[in-house]
A and B are shown apart, each in its own frame.
Chain A
Amino acid sequence: DIQMTQSPSTLSASVGDRVTITCRASQSISDWLAWYQQKPGKAPKLLIYRASSLESGVPSRFSGSGSGTEFTLTISSLQPDDFASYYCQQYNSYPRTFGPGTKVDI
């Protein structure tokens, strides 16, 4: 199985901050990586696919980059609606695996 790690596990930030979350894969996954946002009591929401492609309807302040084993999710200017947990997920191979998550709070 491909193991996914994320850092940091928790991130304290303020509205307007630039926020970066890192995700690492235990082996190369090319760009087969997605990022999800999850709010309490809700299903995850797809933000980014193929490492850097923005899902339709997702604000442009979200961006993704990376390939191989190291990836980043950046929020250029944090908004009140962005306080949530974020998960990366690889789909290079089965079983699909998720990172442990990063909680972004105030």
Chain B
Amino acid sequence: QVQLQESGPGLVRPSETLSLTCTVSGGSISDYSWSWIRQPAGKGLEWIGRIYTSGNTNYNPSLKSRVTMSLDTSKSHFSLQLTSVTAADTAVYYCARETPSFDYWGQGTLVTVSS
């Protein structure tokens, strides 16, 4: 059974960089696309971007200037960096496998942007 687990700081200061990692277990990270999705409290789901195991990426145009994704097959994890964060970036961040619907999700991690 594939499992995904997000990790990273729960609190980030405004203007700094949010960094999260998603570790994949129970299955191969290779030959799939992996996405980040976020959800502000009480609101809907926003797709941030995805990375394929080749390194190819697609980002949401609304965030593209601030987003970088990377993937390490040897460690079976992929990562998200979001720069210049503001309070509007406060949300639960999920990682998910894209096949191309999202069939496996992490449990989510709350990231709060506050000084």
Contacts and interface: CB of A to CB of B under 8 A. Distances in A.
Q: Which of B59, B102, B103, B108 counts the most A-chain CB atoms under 10 A from its CB? A: B102
B61 A87 contact: no
Contact of A98 (B44, B49, B50): B44
Nearest to A101: B44
How many chain B residues sit at the interface, stated as a range, is 20 to 34
B62 to A, nearest CB: 8
Contacts of A81: none
B102 A36 contact: yes
Interface in B72-115: 94, 96, 98, 100-103, 105-108
A3 to B, nearest CB: 12
Nearest to A45: B105
Nearest to A53: B101
Contacts of A42: 107
Contacts of A1: 61
B35 interface: yes
B49 to A, nearest CB: 8
Interface of B: 35, 44-47, 49-50, 58-62, 94, 96, 98, 100-103, 105-108
Given A55-B103, A89-B45, 20 more contacts: A34-B101, A36-B102, A43-B105, A44-B45, A44-B105, A45-B105, A46-B102, A49-B101, A87-B45, A89-B101, A91-B100, A95-B47, A95-B49, A95-B60, A95-B62, A96-B98, A97-B47, A98-B44, A99-B44, A101-B45
